[in-house]
Amino acid sequence: MNKQVAIIGAGIAGLEAASILDSMGFKVTLVEKAEHTGGHIQNWHQLFPDRRNATEVAQGIISKPLANVSTEFNREVTSIQPFAEKFIISAKDGWVFNADAVLITTGFELFDAKRKEEYGYGIYDHVITSAELETLFKKENGVTLRIGRTPSRIGLVHCVGSRDEKIGNIFCSKVCCVTAVKQAIELKELYPECEIYCLYMDLRMSGRHYEELYKQAQEEYSIQFIRGRLSEAAEDKSGKIIVKVEDTLLGRPLKMTMDMLVLMTGMVASAQTASICSSAGIQKDSDGFFKASDPHLYGNITGIPGIFLAGTCSGPKTISDTLSDARSAALAVQSYLSAEANN
Amino acid sequence: MKIEGKKLIWKEYQKEIATDDYFYARSCIRQNFFPGSEKAFTRILKDELGKNLYDSQHHTSCTGIGYHTDVVPFETTMTVVARQFSLMQEAGYSNYIASCITSFGLYTEIIETWKHFPETLEKTREYLFKATGREFSIPNNLAHASDIIYKFRNEIAAKAKFRLVDKETGCPLKVVEHIGCHYSKMFPHKGVGGAEFPYVLTGMIEAWGGEVVDYPERRHCCGFGFRQYAIQANRGFSISCSRKKFESMAPYEPDMIITNCPGCPMFLDRWQYALSEMEGQTYGKNGNGIPVFTYEEVAGLVLGYDPWDLGLQVHQVPAEPLLDKIGIPYNPENKFKGANGEDLGQPDAPNFLKFYKE
């Protein structure tokens, strides 16, 4: 069983699948575009819904034994070409590699909040993204230092780059609602006197214990939830952010001044997706993510035998869903390579 | 405020603007509101920049106000606009300039409609031919007149006799820019700088020495919303919109407001008078208002044109404090004299807004 598997992307899906395929006896090569493994989770402070330390979870995944796994860093894969029952993988820097099977775990990218021009991200100093807020949580007094004062009012804007026809993303990113609730609680713990507002379209608390967290946010932390989409943000003379939003439950417009505005940026398909799809002949779905051959029965299998999918490269997922998906993909790879060996 | 962020957006929204040979369609209301502006535009293009500009006598209103107030059906509007394009073709031009923002937005909307619905274009051709026997071509280049002044802002700056600078301190004047909604809010890529942080007027202000004021209600409507002012019962909304903007910009102590729409300067100017009479409130210093200008008037001032030739005497908010600040000479005695020197009479002085007589 000396078959070679290439895993494109060493985020949590790639690492989890690598560890399982390694334990099955395959030779595994992780191909990572960054200079370290772990992906987005490395930047996170706490995870929903239980507020677990993200580093602890990341370490739990990264520290799994990888005896026969090699990792290629700084290799951004641009094409996967089927050739004589193998696959030729090429990276931007000219690096080329052959494998018997390929597992794509290229993950997601965060929506570029600058595209929602009306929110002023990249223009107004105190408009930040949810990912940036996590990095501020990791530093002592991070939020205070960032805005230069103890905040008295902070707004969190849901669905930035998700469920938005104007920018062409009609899909839900699945994790932002509960992330906003978690971040609102964290902010309230840091600044008990600060008013925290979540500006939402509707709250999608679909995961286990999410609803409890939402209830806790309202009852114990007095987080204000306002149903309404932000129409615009502007900066006043003191650098505070003035937001205009319609409260669609009260049916009236609101104008509020915030010390900081946090944009809950959604997931979008990674930039590599398009070039990998066209080179390998894999289908891309209408949302820009990779398309599985059968999303119900074979969610890890592409239309090209020998190329598999795991994690958020095939659509937004939570961490636990991503890890389950990676394990499932590892079994699909094993099944494919075992059948090949028997032929 | 990070200016680099704005520059990134401006890069995204650049449009092609023809360099010469223009067919010019005037506005149906601007010559009443700001009578010197279109004249200043043709003078700048022909005399200062040496451009070929065809100023047609035969075009009509685009029907924009009728269209937006549901009086004129879209099919009729498209046919009227097709006739304007037919006049352009007949005169041998393919670069169309609209003086009015409503017209510019409407032309853009119609051309986009024809692009996406070719059968509608064919219907319009049929209607125009049946009604007038005319045929038409769609312009190769459609620009608003402010796009043209923006394009040649540096050439104007090179010929400038005055800059938007305080002559005493040498500091740039603080300028509020206000873009007409139909310039880029419907089709952001058709406007220089897009809809959220438009650059068309900012570019002129920067080139002529001023500094743009970014105030919280910068994007708010001026009060010219068609259904606000056209329906008398709604006019309270119109003046409330203007008031909201003045309250928001006043703490920044702007020296002037520049606009590129027929309605914005009208309402931002006249409502300052109305608000002063209603509330005793003025938004400039020492009982003055914040003077409001069209971009052609400002270009004309920069080029050293006589303020009264530019029509500044019909502004409700007097321009004199700004002219003094820049150091632009003017003869107060000529303020209310016609082109041939006849006395036109003076209006009554407002109760609160400072008035400058001869």
**Strand A27-31 to A46-47 pairing:** unpaired
> What's residue A68's pLDDT?
87
Pairwise CA distance, residues B73 & B66, whole Å: 8
CB contact under 8 A, A117 and B217: no
| A237 has a chain B CB within 8 A of its CB | yes
CA dihedral B181, B187, B188, B189 (to 10 degrees): -140
Report percent pLDDT > 90 for chain B.
90
Task: Return the residue of B nearest to A243 by Cα.
Answer: B216
* Residue B228: strand, helix, or coil: helix
Look up the domain containing A151 and give its range. 113-267
The CATH number linked to B100 is 1.20.1050.140
Query: Rounded distance, CA B100 to CA B28, Å?
Result: 8
**Listed residues A212, A232, A267: the one ending a domain:** A267
B253 backbone φψ class: left, alpha, beta (φ>0; ψ -120 to 50) = left
Domain C-terminal end among A224, A243, A267: A267
Contact of A145 with chain B, judged by CB distance below 8 Å, is answered with no
Residues of A in contact with B1 (CB under 8 A): 123-125, 235
Mean pLDDT, residues A237-258 taken together: 95
Q: How far is CA B177 from the centre of its chain?
A: 11
Identify which of B266, B263, B265, B272 has the alpha carbon closest to the alpha carbon of residue B243: B272
Q: Residue A85 — very low, low, confident or very high, per pLDDT cuts 50/70/90?
A: confident
CB contact under 8 A, B5 and A242: no
Nearest chain B residue (CA) to A256: B216
Contact between residue B311 and residue B322 where contact means Cβ atoms under 8 Å apart: no
Are both B280 and B224 inside the same structural domain? yes
Residue B40: CB partners within 8 Å, gap ≥ 6? B296, B297, B299, B300, B305, B309, B310
Can you tell me the distance from the alpha carbon of A299 to that of B258, in angstroms, rounded to the nearest whole number? 58
Are residues A123 and A93 both part of a single domain? no
Are A93 and A206 contacting, i.e. CB atoms less than 8 angstroms apart? no
Per the CB < 8 A criterion, the answer to whether A47 and A181 are in contact is no
Per-residue pLDDT at B357 exceeds 80: no
Q: Is residue B122 located within the same domain as residue B176?
A: no
pLDDT tens for each residue of A271-319: 989 999 999 999 999 999 999 999 999 999 999 999 999 999 999 999 9
pLDDT digits (tens, 9 = 90+) for B265-289: 999 999 999 999 999 999 999 999 9
Residue A341 CA to residue A336 CA, distance in Å, equals 9
Order of all β-strands in the sheet with B22-25:
B53-55, B22-25, B95-98, B141-144
User: Distance between CA A24 and CA A17 in Å, rounded?
Assistant: 11
Burial per residue of A223-232, b for 16 or more beta-carbon CB atoms within 10 angstroms, e otherwise: bebbbbebeb
Q: CB B5 to CB A123 under 8 A?
A: yes
Q: What share of chain B is helix, strand, coil (3-state, %, to 5)?
A: 45, 10, 45
The span from the CA of A233 to the CA of B219, in Å, is 10
Asked if the model's pLDDT at residue A152 lies above 70, the reply is yes
Residue B353 placed within a domain: no
Question: Are residue B277 and residue B322 in the same domain, yes or no?
Answer: yes
Name residue, tokens 């389950």: A324
Phi/psi at A71 (5° precision): -125, 130
Residues B162 and B306 in one domain: yes
- Considering the domain architecture, whether residues A194 and A63 belong to the same structural domain is answered as no
Of A230, A247, A267, the residue at which a domain comes to its end is A267
- d(CA B49, CA B20) in angstroms, rounded, equals 10
Residue pair A185/A213 in contact by the 8 Å Cβ criterion: yes
Average pLDDT, chain B: 95
State pLDDT tens for residues A323-338.
999 999 999 999 999 9
> Which pLDDT belongs to residue B358?
61
Task: Answer yes or no: do B104 and B155 share one domain.
Answer: no
The set of residues, in sequence order, having a beta carbon less than 8 Å from that of B52 and lying 6+ positions away, is B20, B21, B22
Does position B94 have pLDDT exceeding 80, yes or no?
A: yes
Portion 300-339 of B in contact with A at CB < 8 A:
none
Do both B106 and B196 map to the same domain? no
Identify the residue among A117, A126, A127, A237 best suited for mutation to test binding to B, counting B beta carbons within 10 A and taking the highest: A117
Q: Are residues A119 and A225 in the same domain?
A: yes
A123 closest CB neighbour out of B1, B217, B252: B1
Asked whether B105 and B81 are in contact (CB, 8 A), the reply is: no
**pLDDT on residue A50:** 95
- Please give the full DSSP string across B52-112, using - where no structure is assigned: -EEE-SS-----HHHHHTTSS-HHHHHHHHHHHHHHHHHTT--EEEESSHHHHHHHHHHHH
CA distance B194 to B186: 10
Q: Are residues A198 and A276 in the same domain?
A: no
Task: Find the CB nearest A117 among B2, B194, B217.
Answer: B194
| CA gap A322, A300 in Å, rounded | 11
**Nearest Cβ partner of A125 from B1, B195, B251?**
B1
B344 occurs within a structural domain: no
CATH number of the domain that A240 lies in? 3.50.50.60
**Quick one: closest CA in A to B252, which residue?**
A237
- Do residues B134 and B155 share a domain? no
Q: Is residue B173 part of a domain?
A: yes
- Within this chain, do residues B97 and B156 fall inside the same structural domain, yes or no? no
Tell me, yes or no, whether B9 lies in a domain.
no
Q: Are residues A242 and A262 in the same domain?
A: yes
Residues A119 and A96 occupy one common structural domain = no
Is A194's Cβ below 8 Å from some Cβ in B? no
Cα separation, B133 vs B28, in Å, equals 25
Of the residues B85, B111, B145, which one is the last residue of a structural domain? B145
Closest in B1, B196, B217 to A117, CB measured: B196
Expressed as residue numbers, the domain containing B88 is 18-145
Same domain, A186 and A245: yes
B253 and chain A: CB distance < 8 Å anywhere?
no
User: Does A343 have pLDDT greater than 70?
Assistant: no
Beta carbons within 10 angstroms of residue B264's beta carbon: 26
Q: CA-CA distance, B82 to B87, in Å (whole number)?
A: 9
Q: Does B214 touch chain A (CB under 8 A)?
A: yes
Q: Domains in chain A: how many in total?
A: 2
Which pLDDT tens digit goes with each residue over B154-190? 999 999 999 999 999 999 999 999 999 999 999 999 9
In this structure, the answer to whether residues A237 and A136 fall within a common structural domain is yes
On whether both B174 and B309 belong to a single domain, the answer is yes
- Whether A287 has its CB under 8 Å from any CB of chain B: the answer is no
Q: CA–CA separation, A89 vs A95, rounded Å? A: 8
Straight-line distance from the first to the last Cα atom of chain A, in angstroms, rounded to the nearest whole number:
13
- Collapsed DSSP state (helix, strand, coil) of residue B165: strand
The pLDDT of B30-54, averaged and rounded, is 96
Pair A61, A14: CB distance under 8 Å? no
Q: Which of B2, B5, B251 sits opposite A237 (nearest CB)?
A: B251
Do A180 and A292 lie in one domain? The reply is no
Say if CB A5 and CB A337 are below 8 A apart.
yes
pLDDT tens-digit readout, B108-149: 999 999 999 999 999 999 999 999 999 999 999 999 999 999
Instruction: Identify whether B323 is part of a domain.
Output: yes
Give the Å distances, CA to CA, from A177 to A27, A133, A225, A264, B357.
Answer: 39, 15, 11, 8, 62
Across the interface, of A122, A125, A236, the residue whose CB is closest to B216 is A236
Which among A114, A117, A235 has CB closest to B1? A235
CB A65 within 8 A of CB A35: no
Which positions in chain A touch B217 (Cβ < 8 Å)?
Answer: 234
Structure tokens belonging to residue A309: 């999918």
Last-in-domain residue among B124, B145, B166: B145
Task: Report the relative pairing of strands A27-31 and A52-53 from DSSP bridges.
Answer: unpaired
Spatial contact of A318 and A175, defined as CB atoms under 8 Å apart: yes
The mean per-residue pLDDT over the stretch A140-147 comes to 91
For residue A118, list chain B residues with Cβ-Cβ distance below 8 A: 196, 219
CATH code, domain with B294: 3.40.50.11810
How many angstroms separate the CA of residue A114 from the nearest CA in chain B?
8
Domain ends where: B145, B179, B207?
Answer: B145
pLDDT at A332: 97
Residues B107 and B133 in one domain: yes
Q: How many CB atoms lie within 10 A of CB B234?
A: 13
Total number of domains constituting chain B? 2
Q: pLDDT tier at B226 (50, 70, 90 boundaries)?
A: confident
Tell me: do A188 and A236 sit in the same domain. yes
Is residue A124 domain-shared with residue A78, that is, in the same domain?
Answer: no
Judge contact between A327 and A299, C-beta under 8 A. no
Give the C-alpha separation, A105 to A317, whole Å: 12
The answer on B168 and B99 residing in a single domain is no
B347 within domain boundaries: no
Residues A333 and A256 in one domain: no
Residues of B in contact with A125 (CB under 8 A): 1-2
Does B166 lie in the same domain as B126?
no
